[in-house]
Amino acid sequence: MTNDVTTIRASEKFKKAAEALASGHDRFVEEIITLTEIPAPPFKEEVRSEAYEAMFKALGLEEVTRDDVNNVTGLRRGKGNGALVVAAAHLDTVFPEGTDVKVRREGTKLMAPGVGDDTRGLAALLAFIRALDAAGIETEQDILFVGDVGEEGRGDLRGIRHLFTEGTYKDKIGSFFTFDGIEPFDLTTVAVGSLRYRITFKGPGGHSLAAFGAVNPAYALGHFLLGMSRIEVPEAPRSAYCASVIQGGTSVNAIPEDMCVEIDLRSEDAAILQRLDGEIHKLIEDAVAYENGRGKTDKGEISVEIEQIGNRPAGKTDENADIVTISKAAITALGFEVKTSASSTDANIPMSLGIPAVKFGHGGTGGNAHRLDEWIDVEPTESVRGLTAGLLALVATAGMYEA
């Protein structure tokens, strides 16, 4: 058994697997199109999940199931020595129900919402399974293939969170790949944590003239936002905050009864994120106190409701961890120049739990992710080169038997 990338790549079995990726590329493209055209809006991934489950079963994976949140899992057994290696891609897209997801093809380019993020990743897992079987590759560790829900937006990583905290395999996973993003040279080893809140300031409201002088939730919100704009965060570790959605009020001539803002806080460092969180909560308290001290409260005071709508933990995989050194070697072996990065992906969850994890690109080129004009290029040479890098990293992490 070996985990050495150079040895594995030179082996006859892996060469056969790489050939299978190339010869099966047309089918890979067909599966991208098929899956893309099955809508998977946030919290409504069930139809795509059912289709993906059928694909796993058709490929002969063991223990294929859909769990309580619609993650699809299937096991490819190796020798069963050691903890599981997970290869995941997410089923959901950012696009709301009713979005036209018909794929348009121009030459080697495929254009449709979600075609790259992360539908190509889902198809890559299917291609990996077929290539492993075609080559008869046996691994030291079992590989758990996962199509997960809830990676995007308000999904808050609920699929992978379930896998690691409540799922059947929660205590059996030793390393984790999420195949997400196009560029295979971009290896994510740092999880950008985020906290997201909906903050609603409430008051008695009233007529803009008759109730003039009464406390106003809009002024409390304004006081809060001004304070938020003055928070200082470091450039490194990279940290940020944003007030993103503002709602409230009923009429131009009415003091609003409530005003709401949704905010996003981010950092590569968990301690900085918690410090930022504390500052935000202090600003909220100050805004309520300020407005109740400024205006009339005989009809009621300003109050506030704080709802957490997202919590993506920060984390990091050590640069010397096997999954990182192996992934870098695989990327380099296929002629790419490695760039490690920080991002917010499904890998946040295992990283935060101390389980070695990376986000690995699934190959080819593309652009405009999260836009209606999203596209990928499935030109075979570059597409297969990227897929081969991913498969090589996965096999080497799980360990391969040549005989």
User: Do 139 and 400 contact (CB within 8 A), yes or no?
Assistant: yes
CB contact set of 213 (below 8 Å; sequence gap of 6+):
295, 296
Please give the Cα distance from 400 to 354 (Å, whole number).
25
Please give the Cα distance from 187 to 180 (Å, whole number).
10
User: Do 120 and 179 contact (CB within 8 A), yes or no?
Assistant: no
Please give the Cα distance from 28 to 105 (Å, whole number).
15
All structural domains of the chain, each given as residue ranges with its CATH number in brackets, are 5-191+314-401 (3.40.630.10), 193-312 (3.30.70.360)
Three-class HEC string of 62-74? EEEEECCCCCEEE
Largest CA distance in the chain: 87
pLDDT tens by residue, the chain, 403 residues:
999 999 999 999 999 999 999 999 999 999 999 999 999 999 999 999 999 999 999 999 999 999 999 999 999 999 999 999 999 999 999 999 999 999 999 999 999 999 999 999 999 999 999 999 999 999 999 999 999 999 998 999 999 999 999 999 999 999 999 999 999 999 999 999 999 999 999 999 999 999 999 999 999 999 999 999 999 999 999 999 999 999 999 999 999 999 999 999 999 999 999 999 999 999 999 999 999 999 999 999 999 999 999 999 999 999 999 999 999 999 999 999 999 999 999 999 999 999 999 999 999 999 999 999 999 999 999 999 999 999 999 999 999 998 6
Q: Report which residue type is found at 353.
A: L
Residue 402 has a pLDDT of: 80
Please give the Cα distance from 339 to 344 (Å, whole number).
16
Please give the Cα distance from 182 to 343 (Å, whole number).
14
Instruction: Give the phi and the psi of residue 362 in degrees, each rounded to 5.
Output: -100, 10
User: Do 350 and 164 contact (CB within 8 A), yes or no?
Assistant: yes
Please give the Cα distance from 141 to 183 (Å, whole number).
27
Which among 10, 29, 17 has a CA at the least distance from the CA of 383? 29
pTM of the model: 0.94
Please give the Cα distance from 367 to 376 (Å, whole number).
6
CB contact set of 267 (below 8 Å; sequence gap of 6+):
192, 193, 233, 237, 238, 239, 240, 273, 276, 314
Encoding tokens for residue 182? 């196009």
Q: Report which residue type is found at 355.
A: I
Residue 403 has a pLDDT of: 65
Please give the Cα distance from 289 to 297 (Å, whole number).
12
Encoding tokens for residue 267? 């950092």
Please give the Cα distance from 368 to 238 (Å, whole number).
23
Which among 263, 264, 266 has a CA at the least distance from the CA of 192? 266
Which among 206, 266, 211 has a CA at the least distance from the CA of 241? 266
Residue 23's CB is within 10 A of a number of other CB atoms, namely 13
Judge if the upstream peptide bond of residue 237 is cis by omega within 30 degrees of 0.
yes
